[in-house]
């Protein structure tokens, strides 16, 4: 299924429910619908993640779990469930040490070897090798260039030629992203923690892959992570300035984690931006559906606020 469709359906389902279900709360039909990317990349049920990883011996979604563990380990001391997940996925996976990014590859090696030096890299800015930050910025810049490739104009080509060009773009982009997936996540974590105002973080967060996404390749969760950082770093002004570039489901999910006031501000901004044309380009739902979810989130937060004062 198209990755944008599963992203939309699952994020809106989580928003409607008001939480990310724990593994033991999921029903058999949820397992097919929610896996792999959305639940795996959002749940805080690490014990459930470990159980799921054990049940998925072929390791289809290990790359997503590696990204989760790396993000967690870079920012805090991992708990026993996270360490168990890491031990499992590292035991059945290797990584490619790319010569064009030797310093990033060296840090990734310490992560896979479970060395203490990995965590220290994120906690002592003065000790970080400048080439590590340069490589991180360079890699994300290369991803930005890759994602900026323009699809051919279908009106100027016959259908067969258009399909061939579009397929070549998809293959090249997917190959780059999948090949450098671990390095990209490491680069993002380094910049988020050590150079949070880095321009390329925002640029990648607001770009869009020029091809049909799969439901498990990780591009959308990667963009989601960068959007969350930019919002945390710059506040609602970031969302206001870029509302037309952010997937509505991502916008809703961001404000659902924040205040009612931000949600009210963004509901008005979203409506003002798209009401005249009557739709959000490429969206899976109508503007009314998104409006209803803004209202749901605002009412839910307002009710909690009232209860907190009782």
Q: What is the mean pLDDT of each run of 10 residues along the chain (310 residues)?
A: 83 90 76 67 92 81 92 87 91 84 92 82 65 94 89 72 84 92 95 93 92 82 96 97 95 94 96 91 87 95 61
Peptide bond into 102 cis (omega under 30): no
Of the candidates 195, 205, 251, 248, which has an alpha carbon nearest to the alpha carbon of residue 227?
Answer: 205
The predicted structure's pLDDT at residue 157: 76
Q: Is the Cα dihedral 243, 245, 251, 255 positive or negative?
A: negative
Report the alpha-carbon distance of residue 185 to residue 172 in Å, rounded.
19
- Residue 3 near residue 217, CB atoms below 8 Å: yes
Q: Report in angstroms the alpha-carbon separations of 120 from 195, 248, 263.
A: 16, 37, 37
Q: What is the per-residue pLDDT for 256?
A: 95
Could you tell me the pTM of the whole model? 0.91
pLDDT for 152 equals 66
Q: Return the pLDDT at 214.
A: 77
Q: Is the dihedral of CA 192, 197, 199, 202 positive or negative?
A: positive
Residue 155 neighbours by CB under 8 Å, 6+ apart: none
Residue 140, C-beta contacts closer than 8 angstroms, at least 6 positions apart: 184, 187, 188, 191, 200, 201, 204
């Amino acid at each position: 299924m198209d990755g944008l469709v599963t992203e939309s359906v699952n994020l809106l389902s989580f928003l409607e429910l008001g939480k990310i279900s724990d593994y033991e709360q999921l029903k058999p039909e949820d397992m097919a619908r929610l896996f792999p990317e959305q639940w795996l990349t959002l749940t805080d049920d690490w014990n459930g993640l470990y159980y799921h990883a054990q049940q998925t011996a072929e390791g289809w979604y290990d790359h997503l779990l590696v990204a989760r563990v790396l993000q967690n380990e870079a920012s805090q001391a991992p708990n026993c469930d996270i360490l168990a997940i890491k031990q499992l996925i590292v035991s059945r996976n290797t990584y490619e040490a790319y010569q064009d990014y030797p310093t990033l590859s060296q840090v990734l090696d310490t992560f896979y070897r479970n060395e203490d030096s990995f965590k220290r890299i994120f906690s002592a800015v003065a000790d970080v090798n400048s080439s590590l930050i340069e490589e991180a910025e360079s890699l994300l810049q290369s991803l930005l260039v890759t994602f900026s490739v323009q699809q051919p104009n279908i009106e100027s080509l016959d259908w067969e030629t258009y399909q061939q060009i579009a397929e070549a773009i998809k293959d090249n982009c997917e190959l780059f992203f999948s090949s450098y997936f671990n390095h990209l996540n490491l680069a993002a974590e380094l910049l988020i923690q050590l150079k949070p105002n880095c321009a390329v973080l925002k640029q990648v967060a607001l770009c869009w892959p020029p091809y049909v996404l799969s439901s498990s390749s990780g591009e959308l969760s990667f963009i989601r992570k960068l959007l969350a950082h930019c919002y945390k770093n710059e506040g609602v002004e970031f969302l206001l300035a870029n509302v037309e570039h952010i997937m509505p489901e991502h916008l809703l999910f961001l404000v659902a984690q924040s205040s009612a006031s931000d949600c009210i501000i963004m509901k008005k901004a979203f409506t003002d931006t798209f009401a005249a044309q009557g739709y959000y380009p490429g969206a899976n739902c109508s503007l009314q559906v998104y409006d209803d979810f803004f209202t749901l989130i605002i009412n839910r937060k307002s009710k909690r606020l009232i209860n907190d004062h009782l």
